[in-house]
């Protein structure tokens, strides 16, 4: 019996106006991965852009929901049903304001903590028992700045270099997860000095 594939979801909003925003780091990670591995053009299915990839003998589907963030679960649920997966075969990559830029955390069975895209997935799957890569984007420097507005803004110019480093670390964490699983990924990426955080 063939092993089930892994569904890797990068969260973000479609449209050029959102491409470089903090809320779109999930898209940015998958775009970087597809580019580095020459995976070709993204195709469209179930309200998501997708490409297929094989890494270490494991079939992986990379998807970017095109429903806008708050309805991400619609596309994810359709793909989970199509591939006949358990939520545990799902790996969601998203921004996290509770971590500073440059920090990442691998998580499992964790609440959405106010992230609307993650909450949509939890609601449509009726489960939070899926894997996540939380990518820190920090909080607004000014207390009176709205967090929702903040994550829809592009990264500051001085953050660009750190962002590129963070994207590479995120890719490494994803590859580690595919190759060695959840427990090893959490041990490496949640305790090292390069990814420690709240």
- Residues annotated as catalytic are 23
Could you give the CA distance from residue 144 to residue 1 in angstroms, rounded to a whole number? 55
Alpha helices in 40-115 (DSSP H): 72-83
Rounded distance between C-alpha atoms, residue 178 and residue 174, angstroms:
6
CA distance 121 to 70: 9
Cβ neighbours of 38 (radius 10 Å): 6
Strand partners, 52: 61
Q: What is the dihedral of CA 30, 36, 41, 47, to 10 degrees?
A: -10
């Amino acid at each position: 019996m063939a092993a089930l594939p892994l569904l890797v979801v990068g969260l973000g909003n479609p449209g050029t106006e959102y491409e470089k925003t903090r809320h779109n780091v999930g898209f940015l990670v998958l775009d970087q991965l597809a580019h580095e591995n020459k995976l070709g053009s993204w195709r469209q299915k179930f309200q998501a852009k997708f490409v297929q990839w094989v890494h270490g003998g494991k079939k992986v589907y990379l998807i970017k929901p095109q429903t806008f963030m708050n309805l991400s679960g619609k596309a994810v649920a359709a793909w989970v049903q199509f591939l006949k997966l358990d939520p545990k075969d799902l790996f969601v990559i998203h921004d996290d304001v509770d971590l500073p830029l440059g920090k990442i955390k691998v998580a499992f069975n964790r609440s959405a903590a106010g992230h609307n895209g993650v909450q949509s997935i939890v609601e449509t799957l009726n489960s939070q028992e899926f894997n996540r890569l939380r990518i820190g984007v920090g909080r607004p420097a000014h207390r009176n700045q709205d967090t929702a507005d903040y994550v829809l803004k592009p990264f500051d110019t001085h953050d660009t270099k750190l962002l590129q480093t963070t994207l590479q670390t995120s890719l490494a964490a994803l590859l580690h997860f595919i190759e060695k699983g959840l427990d090893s990924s959490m041990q490496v990426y949640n305790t090292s000095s390069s990814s420690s955080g709240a």
